[in-house]
Amino acid sequence: MRKVAIWDTTLRDGAQANGITFSVKDKVNIAKALDDFGVSFIEGGNPFSNPKDAEFFERMKSIPLKSARLVAFGSTRRKDLSAISDPAVKALIDSNCDTVVIFGKAWDFHVSEILEISLEEHLEMIKDTVEYLCKMGKQVYFDAEHFFDGFKSNSEYAISTLIAAQNSGASGVCLCDTNGGSFPDEVQSITKEVKDRISISFGIHTHNDTGMAVANSVVSVMAGADVVQGTINGFGERSGNANLSTVICNLQLKRNIQCVPEENIKNIYSLCRFVAETANMSVSDRTPYVGRNAFAHKGGMHIDGVCKNSRTYEHIDPTTIGNLRRLLMSEMAGRSSITHKLQALSYDVSKDTTEVQQMVETVKNMENEGYQFEAADGTFRIVAIRQLTDYKKPFSIDDIKVIEETKGDGFNASAVIRVSVGDKCEYAAAEGDGPVNALDKALRKALEIFYPSIAEVSLTDYKVRVIDSNTSTAAKVRVLIESTDGNETWSTMGVSTDIVEASCIALVDSMEYKLITDNN
Amino acid sequence: MRKVAIWDTTLRDGAQANGITFSVKDKVNIAKALDDFGVSFIEGGNPFSNPKDAEFFERMKSIPLKSARLVAFGSTRRKDLSAISDPAVKALIDSNCDTVVIFGKAWDFHVSEILEISLEEHLEMIKDTVEYLCKMGKQVYFDAEHFFDGFKSNSEYAISTLIAAQNSGASGVCLCDTNGGSFPDEVQSITKEVKDRISISFGIHTHNDTGMAVANSVVSVMAGADVVQGTINGFGERSGNANLSTVICNLQLKRNIQCVPEENIKNIYSLCRFVAETANMSVSDRTPYVGRNAFAHKGGMHIDGVCKNSRTYEHIDPTTIGNLRRLLMSEMAGRSSITHKLQALSYDVSKDTTEVQQMVETVKNMENEGYQFEAADGTFRIVAIRQLTDYKKPFSIDDIKVIEETKGDGFNASAVIRVSVGDKCEYAAAEGDGPVNALDKALRKALEIFYPSIAEVSLTDYKVRVIDSNTSTAAKVRVLIESTDGNETWSTMGVSTDIVEASCIALVDSMEYKLITDNN
């Protein structure tokens, strides 16, 4: 079976997308998820131009990856410095990554117009930098920026940049369609020519400005590229990069070319959601393979056909990649995935029981309200406990009042809460940074009196997402809270048009999770 | 110059998308807009299966189109009826469209498994129906459903369906990749074979299930198809249909193949928005050519490059298709990008002035606090006005009090606000869905008394982002509001640990933006 290496650049090129700003912790979490999924390269960022990326590489020194190689990104030396004296090159060496990638310009127009140097001088910059980084013990890759535009303008020069890198010790090069304007026929024929002209590994890096990033990646692989660069969910500047989930599914499921270990392909649906949630973006419902609508059928004839034989209107089995069929008009469910989830939580259930049917209904209703269980395992578990066991509410909230008012130049928030446990009740009040923080503090104060173990719980993450944003400030919001007690970490979710109510639901479920699982 | 005909099926196949339900009036408006834009065919719906579509065709009898042909969609006769007695065929005749299209099955598997008849019988159904419709004076087209899957399974049978239609008098046929699972190399070679085997016009109809609908349409046209079916914004079942805006721009701007009159291509940006608004959907910011981010640049090097020469990082001039370049302020905000942005706002500043230096400092400080100017053009403009002009605050907020409390099973939010303009002040109060909505309503109530034009402003988008999410509920949040007054759209931002305060900042800046720009 042929293999290609997946080179993920979500953390570098993906971070160029409008609206995405990863924290260092976000980057670490995504790197771990990508490693678990089985990509070959994780391009982590530019340690010179961005202090946050430098901190990320520092943090990653103590986090071992199972199989992926972490890559630091930079550029050829500046035209007026030697490689050894260029601080950007030094930052690559200091990044402590064994593998580094530098970009240089393969389009003569960029060399003369932007760098304002001779073509020969730029080849020297490539050679010097690759040689020096190799000498310092790095495995070096070379990204040929604007390779396709360059090839169309001056093919010999474009190829000579690859050869310069190859002859200076680079392990591989990458053909970049930086402006995203190329067509599959061009990418195919140019890739074939490159294959004839160089002897090292080479990859393909495409952008979606003509809507053909995926097609261009696939035809390039079919024509000989053995590395594919792209981003999860296609995040990236302008119209985005090649969407790796589409590329991977196309190659692995339809062309029998292995991109990730076979048993991991079923996790791609949740990986896309995890990365999107971390970026505070969404996975478009229409995304091929992993979108919520990718296997949604609405036309009556299509629904009838699919019920007779799914091949009639589905190009693959959606469960292969962790997705589900949705029949939009009629009743339908993810029985088998919910059965799997419950079995994983040690419930002894099988697919055709009424328990499973009830869970399917509940989950579906909650999803219609705006819940997304991929990101909220804690909420799923709480729902299962409430529905499938002899559940007793550990506490109930009788009253909440939150007041927020201007005080001097600033704002002041406070909350009062009344909590009952059995026939006892407790009032507590607290001030906080904003209404949700005040509510959180007051709730803990009241609960700790009944349940001291609540003191072990701390909230490690709080995210807010507007679901149907075009109804403006009255839009529905989804609040996601991540909690830990030192041993375990769980996520809970609340949905409401009212952010305080949504937060309250997620907070209460988090506390319940702790109390219920303590007793199990 | 070669020409291809654009066959729009937004009103038929596009209406199969999850979330889209067109009214008859919506359909009429879209048909008129498509005709103005210059598409060749407008597939309006199925007059038999859908009463709303029948009403639409009825309504269209009195609405003349300039150049497009309105098409009614149906299928071959039923297996147990003659064409003359099939009510679905009759509905096509009664639709009063001169042009009709019927679909039949080109995949042997569908004929045996779904229709449960012999292959020969299905060819008879095609022949009968085409012949009868021709006899009734219609110009008839034949959609070969699942043509590519059919070709891969039994190529001779797939081709024989096209030939049956051709020999019965059809004006054209269409090769449909109904399940959307095909790859460009397959589409190319199969299209070439079709071109050799039939003599009438033929089209291509693709779906995006492998992310290659656009590429497949383009390669098919390059291989000989002379009609392209698709939908505006790619609306359609599952992952959608080929996005016509991308296909048209690719063919017309990059392959010199005329799809619509040359002078109309600049209207494609607004056409996509008009259709999306009518469908109550949005145009994804990342859409090639027409997305809001399609020409948005964030990386410092990209901004410098584009300012030197737009070709460096843009594959076409965005104004050709009615779009605009956007330079996003990001962490890398420097003097040159701020100078460019101020110049774009008609400030006569140059890079080395103290005004620019002051703006750089302000922007950097605000970015450190958590602002992201890339998404908040309105806030950038307000900051520039405050800093660079003789600015007078149009109003000030003296006091705010927001109360949120449980009431019965739910939550109730209300806000009281005191606003001053000059020496006059006004109190206002409102209830709302959550604290922010209550505050928004109260603020408008108070301001409208002084400034009636505030009534023109509506909020079109509201987003919340937790910035440093690992400090949990006390984390900083960034609130982004998008507003419009019907003429212009602007975005403003607020940052605080308190979501109510952050929302208040963004709301106040949005109102100020309206009042200040009204006077300019």
Of A197-201, A313-317, A345-349, which range is least confident?
A: A345-349
Q: Across the interface, do A498 and B180 touch by the CB < 8 Å criterion?
A: no
Range with the poorest average pLDDT among A156-170, B31-45, B274-288: B274-288
Residue A99 has pLDDT above 60, yes or no: yes
> pLDDT tens digits, residue range B315-330?
999 999 988 887 776 5
User: Quick check: is B377 in a domain?
Assistant: yes
Residue at a domain's end among A278, A310, A326: A278
Handedness of CA B236, B239, B242, B247 (dihedral sign): positive
**Under 8 Å between Cβ of A301 and A353:** no
**Contact assignment for B464 to A469 by CB distance below 8 Å:** no
C-alpha–C-alpha distance, residues A395 and B113, integer Å: 57
Cα torsion A305, A311, A315, A316: sign: positive
Looking at A413, A430, A450, which one is the last position of a domain?
A450
SS3 category, A282: coil
Residue A291 lies in a domain: no
In a domain? residue A318: yes
Q: What is the mean pLDDT of residues A118-129?
A: 98
Are B470 and A460 inside 8 Å of each other by CB? yes
Rg for chain A, CA atoms, rounded: 26
Tell me, yes or no, if B253 comes closer than 8 A to chain A by beta carbon: no
pLDDT score at B131: 98
Q: Which of B21, B76, B212 would best serve as a mutation to test chain A binding (most A beta carbons within 10 A)?
A: B212
Whether A110 and chain B come into contact, CB under 8 Å, resolves to yes
Q: Please compute the mean of the pLDDT values over residues B353-381 and round it to a whole number.
A: 82
Residues 6+ apart with CB under 8 A from A332: A325, A326
Q: Are strands A227-230 and A201-206 parallel, antiparallel or unpaired?
A: parallel
Chain A: nearest CA to B414, how far in angstroms? 10
What is the maximum span of chain A, computed from C-alpha positions, in angstroms? 85
Q: Is the dihedral of CA B83, B105, B234, B17 positive or negative?
A: positive
Residue-by-residue DSSP string for A71-109: EEEEESPPTTS-GGG-HHHHHHHHTT-SEEEEEEE--HH
For residues A197 and A316, membership in a common domain is answered with: no
- Helix (H) / strand (E) element for A464: namely strand A458-466
Q: Is B281 on the interface with A (CB under 8 A)?
A: no
Q: With bands split at pLDDT 50, 70 and 90, how would you rate the model's confidence at A331? A: very low
Determine the pLDDT at residue A428: 95
pLDDT value of residue B46: 93
Give the domain range for residue B269.
5-278
Flag whether pLDDT at A312 surpasses 90: no
Whether A189 contacts A217, CB under 8 Å: no
Chain segment B26-58, per-residue pLDDT in tens: 899 999 999 999 999 999 999 998 778 999 999
Task: Please tell me the predicted confidence (pLDDT) of residue B333.
Answer: 54
Cα separation, A92 vs B146, in Å, equals: 52
Question: Which residues in chain B have their CB less than 8 angstroms from residue A25's CB?
Answer: 470
Question: What is the structure's pLDDT at A95?
Answer: 93
What's the angle, vertex CA A22, arms to CA A20 and CA A27, rounded to 5?
135
How far is it, in rounded angstroms, from Cα A177 to Cα A107? Answer: 11
Does A138 map to a domain?
yes
CA A466 to chain centre: 18
Chain B residue with Cα closest to A51: B331
Q: How many Å apart are CA A510 and CA A487, to the nearest integer?
A: 15
Asked if B369 has any chain A CB less than 8 Å from its own CB, the reply is no
Q: Can you say how many angstroms the Cα of residue B329 is from the centroid of all Cα atoms in its chain?
A: 25
Nearest CA in chain B to A504: B411
Cross-chain CB nearest to B222 (options A185, A287, A405): A185
Say whether pLDDT at B20 is over 50.
Answer: yes
Identify from A268, A427, A499 which residue to disrupt to test chain B contact, counting B C-beta atoms within 10 A and taking the largest count.
A499
At A329 the pLDDT is: 40
Distinct helix (H) and strand (E) counts, chain A: 17, 16
pLDDT > 90 fraction of chain A, expressed in percent and rounded: 68
Tell me the per-residue pLDDT of B426-444, one tens digit each, with 9 for 90 and over: 999 999 988 988 999 999 9
Judged against a pLDDT cut of 90, whether residue A477 lies above it is answered with no
- Which of A404-413, A460-469, B102-111, B167-176 has the weakest average pLDDT? A460-469
Q: Does A334 share its domain with A476?
A: no
Which structure tokens are listed for B150? 């059919």
Q: CA–CA separation, B411 vs A399, rounded Å?
A: 10
| Type of residue numbered A190 | I
Question: Within 10 A of B310 (CB to CB), how many other CB atoms are there?
Answer: 16
Least confident of A251-265, A469-483, B42-56, B217-231: A469-483
Q: Does residue A202 register a pLDDT over 90?
A: yes
Q: In the prediction, which pLDDT does A330 show?
A: 31
Q: Note whether A279 contacts B: Cβ–Cβ < 8 A.
A: no
As a dihedral over the C-alpha atoms of residue A58, residue A61, residue A67, residue A68, rounded to 10 degrees, the angle is: 10
pLDDT for B347: 85
**Residue A384 belongs to a domain:** yes
- By the 8 A CB rule, do A418 and A443 touch? no
Same domain, A220 and A333: no
A340 and A420 together in one domain: no
- pLDDT reported for residue B267: 93
Enumerate the β-bridge partners of residue B144: B104, B175
Residues B169 and B239 grouped into a single domain = yes
* Distant-in-sequence, close-in-space partners of B12: CB < 8 Å, separation ≥ 6: B43, B44, B45, B46, B53, B73
* Separation of alpha carbons A431 and B473, rounded Å: 13
Whether residues A128 and A203 fall in one domain? yes
Cα–Cα dist A417/A400, whole Å:
5
Q: Please check whether residues B34 and B147 belong to one and the same domain.
A: yes
Q: Does A426 fall in a domain?
A: yes
Show Cβ contacts of residue A378 under 8 Å, excluding neighbours closer than 6 positions.
A483, A490, A491, A492, A509, A510, A513
Contact with chain B for residue A517, Cβ under 8 A: no
Mean pLDDT in residue range A206-234: 98
Residue A289 lies in a domain: no
- Whether residue B374 is predicted with pLDDT greater than 70 in this model: the reply is no
Type of residue at B377: D
Question: What are the residues whose beta carbons fall under 8 Å from the beta carbon of B350, sequence distance 6 or more?
Answer: B339, B356
453-492 of A, contacting B, C-beta below 8 A: 458-466, 469-470, 472-475, 477, 481
Q: Tell if the CB–CB gap between B18 and A300 is shorter than 8 Å.
A: no
Do the Cβ atoms of B271 and B37 come closer than 8 Å?
A: yes
Domain count, chain A: 4
CA A242/CA B327 separation, integer angstroms: 22
Give pLDDT tens digits for A234-257: 999 999 999 999 999 999 999 999
B389 shares its domain with B334: no
Q: Which of A311, A339, A360 is the last residue of a domain?
A: A360
Residues B167 and B260 in one domain: yes
The answer to whether residues B156 and B187 belong to one domain is yes
Amino acid identity at A478: R
Q: Do A263 and A38 touch, CB atoms closer than 8 A?
A: no
Nearest CA-CA distance, residue A222 and chain B, Å: 10
What is the band of A332 on the pLDDT scale with cuts at 50, 70, 90? very low
In a domain, A285, yes or no: no
Q: Are B349 and B342 in contact (CB under 8 A)?
A: yes
The model's pTM:
0.75
Task: Check residue A333 and give its pLDDT.
Answer: 40
Closest CA to B415 of B405, B427, B424, B403: B403
- Shared domain for A164 and A207, answered yes or no, is yes
One domain for residues B354 and B460: no
pLDDT band at B278 (very low <50, low <70, confident <90, very high): confident
Helix (H) or strand (E) holding B336: helix B335-344
Q: Is residue A247 left, alpha or beta, with left meaning phi > 0 and alpha meaning psi from -120 to 50? A: alpha
The beta strands (E) that lie in B172-309 are given as 172-177, 201-206, 227-230, 296-297
Look up the CATH number of the domain holding residue A72: 3.20.20.70
Q: What is the mean pLDDT of residues A282-302?
A: 85
Whether A212 sits inside 8 A of B208 (CB atoms) is no
| pLDDT over 90 at A337, yes or no | no
* B469: DSSP letter: G
Listed ranges A182-186, A489-493, B477-481; the one with the highest mean pLDDT = A182-186
pLDDT band at A279 (very low <50, low <70, confident <90, very high): confident
